[in-house]
């Protein structure tokens, strides 16, 4: 085991995948000499050459569209989108081509693309640099969508995503890039299935579902809640499409209460789907309606106000209070 | 100031003019020295065959056997010229109108047509034919071709990629980005634009106020503007472009100037937006008649030529009609197949539930679906 | 009152808006001489000229992006996207510009765009011609999203959308274009608020929420259910962002049961949001988990199979049976 | 075959060379006959002022007063040349680097900078200044400019629209589509590309293997390739383009060849990807020094010239620093403002709930936010 930052763990995962399979190529803006604006591809062009780590022209549709062509040719492209807010020019290629080609060709053409997207806020960035577009992709049939929350998962899940024959949109919680954790570099891609959720902390009173950057916040909230005598079970979703409902369902059947948190807007965010699906599966076990603690239905605000958009420990605990029928911010509305 | 040239009339490369006369062209001539009378006859037969497939498509749509059909009428020379220039392992990324290319690749006509019946989204295995299946999103396939060609370069292959698209497509960002990528990596790709003068109801002048062939030059990609109704010129131009690709000289752009003689699709009514005179003008430049005149000039009997081609076309058409009408409908549960290549828990559950739902009708002993209630 | 088809009602609405405000301009592919592939703009270029009914180059990002510029200049552009599946090239301009400019400029720049999109399936079309992308837009803060279900609403809501100072994505259920209904052409844009839902049929046992093409199917289902002694309240959502929860909530509080139906994929479709929100608001009134009867999580299938993707009368009634705890397709799974 | 020209070195239009010498140019000369010594002095002062604002931006970022800053160092001539050619009612659609254009429009420097502090997404009223606020999505603004220009044409206005973007932006579909629309409608728009040789770490050669100014020509748009460090040439070229726009001659494209002397933004480390020699080469072509040499040649005392400009720059800088540091933080509930112009039930409910949530902390008597627990 080695202590690595999240970013270095991703770098190691890329390196490992490239060593394992010569068809793995990286494509993106500034990923070569610069190593990407977050340095995730640092050193890889030097070691693997310009034909495997490809600096591309500044055109996201072009990047994804040519990656589709590379996949036709037998390559396994890993695309870097520089920031979350810059994926939309590639939306058509992702939704109409990447997601649909396997279906369109009755399984004859595979699209083993990995589309890496640093996502989420909390780093004081300008507009378009802090978005959470995951719901757009999780709503799109044909794509798999995942997000690791810690260095070990970053390392393993990235390799699993690259090895997967289906296209995977890989959301990296950029505000965790510099956080460290133990990584089993010798373990390769061994680990829980790419589509599975993991219970990060056991608890009995309420199930708290998070993914990406908010898993850490959720764990902190669980620790804080302990002092108030509340036992929170924290589930790291990891996979956003498919959602591992078996794990969430089993947990909610134990706790009877569910809180989901994410940075994305509330309306039609992952929380909506999870609340709806868990209500379908656990209706008679639920003691309170599932609670969502999410970003608001607003464009991501300028950075001086971002903490008023992002769920934090206090907002999550307020949500837990709501789910537990304890006094909370909305108590005055009841009755 | 660097000035655009504007729409000029000169500059259209031709080897056989509308009257069937062979016109010399220094640049193209060397590329067709091997094309003898037999080869020309072959091109003629090809054009007749795909025109027939196309007519069958229209007829089958009228009879309700197809939901829709996008005719290629008038564009036979462009498609056969290009198609017969390709090697089998060059990879084709077409739009939805490239019936002729599929024919050149040995795709059974029924496989080309069944997509338009609604029985499938793809009629053939792209890797079996080295040809992607129809692309409906305008221009998207040009990026796939550029990327495939980048792949050829990276894995050291000797093939080329070629992509087909229309005049309207040149306005799409994707097509322009494809040129950026192709030029940047000097990828072995051929951009083959069939300028058939119309994008549904919009004339080409709305998309571009200069020749389409001027566009790529500004991206660093050389271009050829050929008479798209001259099969020999299309063959030569494509050979030149492919040779450039194979010899490490990067992308080439071909504008084949032709005309969509039919409607955009069978759902379209071109009388709403275009002049019948225009049609007459282009009828006089018909690609098949032109080659017939040329071959007559070389001493071939036109009636005999036509009869020979008809034999081939008739056979294709007969097989096609039988196959299409005999097509089995797909199975309900097929909707769930091939969304993913590996299990997907959410979808698998939906499949399971829908199977139970379907089962009800079977249980109810109802012969037709939807009759349980 | 005049009996008009849905398509003609839209045409009349456009004409009325163009007469009322000279800043209203139409932009799109083939909308001029041809009148659009569905003839919705038929005759308008002839009557208003090429400067008001603008045939554009074949480039959706270009259409929306130049419409943004026209709005800066004081125009009120109405954009036609030819088919649902062709909106994605414009996704970046819609999500990053149209939706955000009012927020970005602190309210100084308005984006009174209407983006008309014929949507949905059931007409035997090829790929990309039958999609239901509404959830992408309803998840996008800054946009309003609506869908009329009948000629009268088509006429009124289109005028309201054009008059609205916020951008409106206007989904037209193309499979209803040829259906007729009474339209009050003299009423102008008088009618229920653009953001409001309407109860189309009163009922007491279960609330059935639909929008667009499926409203008719839902009404047919309600009629059929009557024979079985089930009283369905049918709500026509009309507005997908915002959803008129007041209306849905009041209904569910009366019936205790909710079924939502749409053609879009289930995961993160409108049904998820409505189920989650109504569960939040009506938890103690619900006698069964909200039921979703939707398209599957698949790319839209080729037309010979589309009836196995699209909710129809029978599938809706099966959903009603589930919500009512009556024998249904999934009964065997219970226990 | 139509061949691209490739990267040539000739063809760069100049009026003042790096040594300060006035070089005649038939095409541009007529457009700057009115530019006397005073006017040149004004251009010099402008360039010094925006360089100072830029330095302050970098310094304020280092001091933690700004979150980020995108320097314009080296691009003063391009921005002032273009900015001073415009009429007040021409509408500007900039990217994020056009500090100089904002300055020309009378935007207070603190209003330009506060966006980068994170206090706002827009520092000024676009309609007050006839200039849109910064666009971060690469190339998106070029379509807005084309559309605005279409609007000018439709409402009979006499203005022009102008849009600024970088060399990297030319690869984006949007920029190419903007050229398609502008050409098709002959819209009165000027495309002003500051080719500063880099898109973050990517050299311009990755985006285009021919001159950027060649690109528009293929779209039917005439272009000028000017020395972007020559303020007089930039002024003249922009005047030509604006005149064409106003006289119904449609769009023009200007490639201003310049250099980004600083990092991409303060978050960037250019030593990772570019050669120090390149910097030296371009330092020798510095736009401000060049004008100083030219003015010295006309008899002006350089020290006095610099001192005069410094007075202006100092005043701007002092006001700027005070204003930035004195900026009030926005209010929590501001996040909900201006998403819509009219009530939106779902958002209004979220606002109401968040107000109640905030209220808790106030009720708890906590001075700081987040301290209720
Ligand atoms: C992205 C997208 N936008 C719109 C359409 C609708 N559409 C189908 S074909 C067509 C015209 C295409 O014209 P052109 O590129 O000239 O090809 P042609 O049909 O003439 O072969 C249009 C607008 C589409 N298929 N995809
Ligand atoms: C759509 C999009 N993709 C990527 C980025 C990230 N990005 C910001 S600036 C930049 C380089 C731009 O280069 P250029 O157009 O030459 O302008 P310059 O910064 O040199 O002025 C990139 C890649 C972005 N802002 N928008
Ligand atoms: Mg065409
Ligand atoms: Mg640059």
CA of B169 to the centre of ligand 1 (A): 7
Name the stretches of chain B with pLDDT < 70.
Answer: 6-10, 365-373
C-beta atoms surrounding A284 within 10 Å: 8
CB neighbours (10 Å) of residue B363?
9
Q: State how far the Cα of C274 lies from the Cα of C249, in Å rounded to an integer.
A: 10
**Quick check: B220 and D4 CB within 8 A?**
yes
Distance from CA of A102 to the nearest CA of B (A): 6
Helices (H), D73-172: 76-83, 99-104, 109-117, 126-129, 140-155
CATH of domain C198-325: 3.40.50.920
pLDDT of residue B362: 85
pLDDT by 10s per residue, chain A, length 335: 899 999 999 999 999 999 999 999 999 999 999 999 999 999 999 999 999 999 999 999 999 999 999 999 999 999 999 999 999 999 999 999 999 999 999 999 999 999 999 999 999 999 999 999 999 999 999 999 999 999 999 999 999 999 999 999 999 999 999 999 999 999 999 999 999 999 999 999 999 999 999 999 999 999 999 999 999 999 999 999 999 999 999 999 999 999 999 999 999 999 999 999 999 999 999 999 999 999 999 999 999 999 999 999 999 999 999 999 999 999 999 75
Ligand 1 atom with least separation from CA of B265: 19
Domain chopping of chain A, boundaries: 2-187, 198-325
DSSP, residue by residue, D302-329:
HHHHHHHHHHHHHHHHHHHHHHHHTPPP
Cis peptide before C242 (omega within 30 of 0): yes
Q: Buried b / exposed e across B183-198, counting CB within 10 Å, b at 16+? A: bbbbbbbbbbbbbbbb
Catalytic position from the list B52, B114, B264, B294: B264
Chains within contact range of chain A (3+ C-beta pairs < 8 Å): B, C, D
Query: Catalytic: which of A129, A262, A288, A308?
Result: A129
Q: Do D181 and C109 touch (CB under 8 A)?
A: no
Question: ipTM > 0.95?
Answer: yes
Q: Is the pLDDT of residue C290 over 50?
A: yes
- Residue D65 Cβ inside 6 Å of ligand 2? The answer reads no
Q: How far is CA D358 from the centre of its chain?
A: 40
**Token duo for residue A150:** 């810690």
- Closest ligand 2 atom, CA of D140? 1
Instruction: Give the distance (Å) from ligand 2 centre to CA of residue B357.
Output: 52
Task: Give me the tens of pLDDT residue by residue for chain D, a chain 373 residues long.
Answer: 888 876 555 579 999 999 999 999 999 999 999 999 999 999 999 999 999 999 999 999 999 999 999 999 999 999 999 999 999 999 999 999 999 999 999 999 999 999 999 999 999 999 999 999 999 999 999 999 999 999 999 999 999 999 999 999 999 999 999 999 999 999 999 999 999 999 999 999 999 999 999 999 999 999 999 999 999 999 999 999 999 999 999 999 999 999 999 999 999 999 999 998 999 999 999 999 999 999 999 999 999 999 999 999 999 999 999 999 899 999 999 999 999 999 999 999 999 999 999 999 888 865 454 444 4
Strand partners, A233: A207
Q: Which of B5, B27, B81 is nearest to B256 (CA)?
A: B81
Cβ of D199 closer than 6 Å to ligand 2, yes or no, is: yes
B193 CA to centre of ligand 3 in angstroms:
9
D273 is catalytic: yes
User: What average pLDDT does chain B have?
Assistant: 95
Q: Are residues A141 and B173, on separate chains, in Cβ contact within 8 Å?
A: no
Pairing of strands A198-201, A232-236: antiparallel
∠ CA B14-B19-B25, nearest 5°, is: 25
Subunits close to C (at least 3 CB pairs below 8 A)? A, B, D
Q: Is C33 exposed, middle or buried (0-12, 13-18, 19+ CB in 10 A)?
A: middle
**Domains A2-187 and A198-325 are alike in CATH topology:** yes
Can you give the pLDDT at residue B223? 98
Please indicate whether residue C245, judged by its CB atom, sits closer than 6 Å to ligand 1. no
Q: How far is CA A242 from the centre of its chain?
A: 12
Centroid of ligand 3 to alpha carbon of A156 (angstroms): 48
Q: In whole angstroms, what is the distance from residue C291 CA to residue C325 CA?
A: 11
Q: Are A16 and A188 in contact (CB under 8 A)?
A: yes
Determine contact, residues C237/C211, Cβ cutoff 8 Å.
Answer: yes
- Do the Cβ atoms of C139 and A141 come within 8 Å? no
Q: What is the pLDDT of residue D364?
A: 80
Distances (CA, A) of D160 to C68, D78, D141: 16, 18, 15
pLDDT given for residue D28 in this prediction: 97
Pocket lining: D46 vs ligand 2, CB cutoff 6 Å? no
Of C71, C96, C141, the CB nearest to D339: C141
How far are the Cα atoms of C71, C154, C195, C278 from residue C238, in angstroms, in the given order? Answer: 25, 10, 7, 17
Contact of D166 with D191, CB cutoff 8 Å? no
Q: Is there a catalytic annotation at residue B52?
A: no
| Cα–ligand 4 centroid distance for B183 (angstroms) | 19
Determine, for residues B136 and C127 on separate chains, whether the beta-carbon distance falls below 8 Å: yes
Q: Which of C32, C55, C61, C86 to mutate to test the pocket of ligand 1 (most atoms within 8 A of CB)?
A: C86
Model pLDDT, residue A231: 98
CA D226 to chain centroid: 16
From C34, C89, C224, residue closest to B272, measured CB to CB: C34
The ligand whose atoms approach the alpha carbon of B142 most closely is: 1
CB contact under 8 A, A265 and C299: no
Pair D65, D324: CB distance under 8 Å: yes
Indicate the top mutation candidate among D73, D169, D200 to test ligand 2's pocket, ranked by most ligand atoms within 8 A of CB. D200
Q: What is the largest CA-CA distance in chain B?
A: 79
Measured over the CA atoms of residue C90, residue C96, residue C100 and residue C104, the dihedral's sign is negative
Contact D207 A58 (CB under 8 A): yes
In whole angstroms, what is the distance from residue A161 CA to residue C164 CA?
A: 44
pLDDT of residue D9: 55
- Ligand 2 in contact with D291 (CB < 6 A)? no
CB A56 within 8 A of CB A66: yes
- State how far residue A297 is from chain C, nearest Cα, in angstroms: 5
Mutate to test the pocket of ligand 1, among B199, B206, B258, B270 (most ligand atoms within 8 A of CB): B199
Q: Is D334 exposed, middle or buried (0-12, 13-18, 19+ CB in 10 A)?
A: middle
Q: Quick check: helix, strand or coil at residue B313?
A: helix
Q: What's the CA-to-centroid distance between B372 and ligand 1, angstroms?
A: 42
- Residues C8-63: tens digit of each pLDDT: 999 999 999 999 999 999 999 999 999 999 999 999 999 999 999 999 999 999 99
Rounded to an integer, what distance in angstroms lies between the CA atom of residue A121 and that of residue D247?
Answer: 48
Tell me whether residue B344 is one of the annotated catalytic residues. no
Alpha carbon distance B47, B33 (integer Å)? 21
Chain D hits for A178, CB-CB cut-off 8 Å, are none
Q: Which of D137, D139, D143, D168 to mutate to test ligand 2, by most ligand atoms within 8 A of the CB atom? A: D168
Ligand 1 pocket, residue B167 CB under 6 Å: yes
Q: Is B2 on the interface with D (CB under 8 A)?
A: yes
Nearest Cα of chain A lies from the Cα of C192 at a distance, in angstroms, of 23
Q: Which two tokens stand for residue A126?
A: 């300008």
For domain A2-187, the question of CATH label 3.30.70.100 is answered with: no
Judge whether A95 is closer than 8 Å to chain C, CB to CB. yes
Q: Residue D362's pLDDT is what?
A: 85
Task: List the alpha helices (DSSP H) in C105-244.
Answer: 134-138, 151-163, 214-227
- Which ligand sits nearest to residue D171's alpha carbon? 2
Residue B173 tokens, joined: 């960002």
Distance A9 CA to ligand 2 centre (A): 27
How big, in percent rounded to 5, are the helix, strand and coil portions of chain A?
Answer: 40, 20, 40
- CB proximity list for B165: less than 8 A, separation 6 or greater: B95, B138, B139, B141, B142, B175, B191, B192, B193, B194
pTM above 0.95, yes or no: yes
Dihedral (Cα; B201, B207, B210, B214), 10-degree rounding: -120
D57 lines ligand 2 (CB under 6 A): no
């Amino acid at each position: 085991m080695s202590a690595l930052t999240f970013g270095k763990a991703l770098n190691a995962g890329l390196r490992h995948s490239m060593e394992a399979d010569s068809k793995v190529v990286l494509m993106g803006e500034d990923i070569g000499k610069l190593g990407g604006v977050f340095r995730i591809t640092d050193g890889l062009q030097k070691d693997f050459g310009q034909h495997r780590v490809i600096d591309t022209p500044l055109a996201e549709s072009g990047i994804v569209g040519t990656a589709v062509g590379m996949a036709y040719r037998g390559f396994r492209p890993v695309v870097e989108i520089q920031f979350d807010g810059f994926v939309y020019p590639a939306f058509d290629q992702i939704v109409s081509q990447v997601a649909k080609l396997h279906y369109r060709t009755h399984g004859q053409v595979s699209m083993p693309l990995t589309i890496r997207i640093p996502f989420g806020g909390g780093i004081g960035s300008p507009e378009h640099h802090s978005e959470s577009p995951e719901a757009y992709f999780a709503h799109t049939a044909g794509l798999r969508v995942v997000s690791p929350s810690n260095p070990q998962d970053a390392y393993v899940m990235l390799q699993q995503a690259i090895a997967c024959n289906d296209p995977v949109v890989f959301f990296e919680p950029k505000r965790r890039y510099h956080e460290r954790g133990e990584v089993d570099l010798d373990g390769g891609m061994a680990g829980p299935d790419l589509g599975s959720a993991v219970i990060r902390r056991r608890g009995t009173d309420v199930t708290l579902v998070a993914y990406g950057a908010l898993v850490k916040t959720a764990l902190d909230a669980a620790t804080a809640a302990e002092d108030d005598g509340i036992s929170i079970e924290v589930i790291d979703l990891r996979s956003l499409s498919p959602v591992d409902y078996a794990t969430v369902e089993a947990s909610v059947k134990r706790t009877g209460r569910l809180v989901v948190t994410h940075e994305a807007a509330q309306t039609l965010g992952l929380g909506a789907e999870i609340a709806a699906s868990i209500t379908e599966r656990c209706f008679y076990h639920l003691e309170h309606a599932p609670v969502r603690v999410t970003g608001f239905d607003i464009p991501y605000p300028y950075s001086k106000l971002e903490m008023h958009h992002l769920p934090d420990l206090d907002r999550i605990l307020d949500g837990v209070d709501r789910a537990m029928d304890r006094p909370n911010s909305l108590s005055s509305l009841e009755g | 100031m660097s000035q655009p040239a504007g729409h000029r009339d000169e500059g259209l490369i031709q080897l056989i003019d509308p009257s069937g006369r062979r016109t010399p062209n220094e640049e193209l001539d060397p590329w067709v020295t091997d094309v003898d009378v037999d080869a020309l006859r072959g091109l003629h037969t090809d054009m007749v065959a795909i025109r027939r497939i196309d007519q069958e498509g229209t007829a089958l749509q009228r009879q309700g056997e197809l939901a829709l059909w996008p005719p290629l009428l008038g564009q036979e020379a462009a498609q056969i010229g290009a198609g017969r220039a390709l090697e089998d392992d060059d990879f084709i990324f077409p739009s939805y109108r490239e019936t002729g290319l599929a024919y050149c690749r040995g795709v059974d006509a029924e496989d080309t047509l069944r997509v338009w019946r609604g029985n499938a989204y793809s009629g053939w295995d792209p890797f079996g034919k080295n040809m992607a299946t129809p692309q409906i999103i305008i221009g998207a396939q040009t990026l796939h071709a550029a990327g495939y060609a980048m792949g050829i370069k990276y894995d050291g292959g000797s093939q080329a990629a070629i992509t087909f698209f229309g005049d309207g497509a040149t306005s799409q960002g994707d097509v322009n980005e494809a040129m950026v990528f192709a030029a940047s990596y000097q990828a072995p790709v051929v951009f083959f634009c069939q300028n058939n003068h119309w994008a549904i109801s919009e004339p080409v002048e709305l998309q571009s106020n200069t020749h389409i062939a001027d566009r790529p030059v500004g991206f660093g990609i050389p271009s050829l503007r050929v008479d798209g109704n001259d099969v020999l010129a299309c063959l030569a131009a494509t050979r030149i472009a492919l040779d450039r690709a194979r010899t490490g000289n990067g992308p080439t752009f071909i504008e084949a100037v032709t005309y969509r003689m039919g409607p955009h699709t069978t759902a379209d009514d071109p009388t709403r937006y275009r002049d019948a005179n225009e049609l007459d003008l282009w009828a006089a430049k018909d690609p098949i008649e032109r080659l017939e005149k040329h071959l007559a000039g070389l001493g071939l009997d036109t009636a005999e030529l036509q009869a020979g081609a008809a034999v081939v076309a008739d056979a294709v058409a007969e097989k096609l009609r039988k196959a299409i009408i005999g097509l089995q409908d797909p199975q309900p549960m097929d909707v769930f197949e091939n969304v993913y290549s590996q299990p997907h828990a959410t979808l698998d559950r939906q499949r399971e539930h829908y199977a139970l739902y379907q089962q009800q009708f079977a249980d109810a002993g109802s012969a037709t679906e939807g009759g349980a209630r």
